[in-house]
Amino acid sequence: MVEAIRNAHADVNVEAHTGSGGVFDVVIDGNKVYSKWDTGRFPANADIVTIINGLKAKTA
């Protein structure tokens, strides 16, 4: 997933942190934009890229 984000958005700083208990959150600029806990599923790469696209469009 990190590679997919970097390929789609070279200007985005991506960090991956290993957690426990099946937790998987995506946090951008301190804001949680995706949570496996909330959705019940692990996101596809395209899900996160789409979220980033939307956030960038709002700030453009």
User: 52 with 58: CB under 8 angstroms?
Assistant: no
- DSSP-derived letter for residue 11 is T
Residues 26/48, Cβ–Cβ less than 8 Å: yes
Q: Where are the domains of the chain?
A: 2-59
List Cα–Cα distances, 40 to 2, 11, 36, 43, in angstroms: 20, 29, 5, 9
pLDDT in tens, the chain (60 residues): 889 999 999 998 888 877 788 888 888 888 899 999 999 999 999 999 999 999 999 987
Q: Which token pair is 7? A: 């390929």
d(CA 23, CA 20) in angstroms, rounded, equals 6
